[in-house]
Chains A and B, each alone.
Chain A
Amino acid sequence: SVRRAMKKKERKTNDLPQSNIVSGKYDHYHESEGREMCKRHELYVSFRDLEWLDWVIAPQGYAAYYCHGECSFPLDSCMNATNHAILQSLVHLMKPEAAPKACCAPTKLSAISVLYYDNSNNVILKKYRNMVVKSCGCH
C-alpha cells in the first residue's frame, strides 16, 4: 500500500520542473529533523570569472547542477525513486548494518556544448553528453 501511494504521488509530481515543486508532507518531516532531502542544487560556473573569455566564445558560463541530500524512508513524494531504492530504504530501516541508504544521484542528464578557439585560431564546437543534471532521485 505504501508503494501504491508513492506511485500515485510520483505520477502527480514528476513532470513538474524542480523549481515549481512544493514541499510535501514528508519533506517537512525530514526538514524538521534537520536532514536535507535528495534534491538538485545549483552552482553557476562563470567563464568570465575564470578569465577564459579570450578563448571560450560561448557560453559565458553554465549552471553546474549536482545532486545532494538524503534518501531516507519514506522516500519523498517529489523525487524519482527506483523500485530498488524503495526496497533498499526499507531494508536499511530494518537492518541498517546490512544495507546502506539509497543513493541520491542524477536521474536525467543532458548535453552541454562549448565553443572555443584552439592555439591555431581554429574554432572548435564540442558537445559533452550526459553533463548537465536535469533531475535527481534515489537509486
Chain B
Amino acid sequence: PASNLGLEDIIRKALMGNLEE
C-alpha cells in the first residue's frame, strides 16, 4: 500500500499521476 512508501516516493508517484500502480 502507499502508506509504507517514503515521502519522496509518494510525491513522485502522485506527480507522475500513476497512483493506481
Chain A partners chain B: no
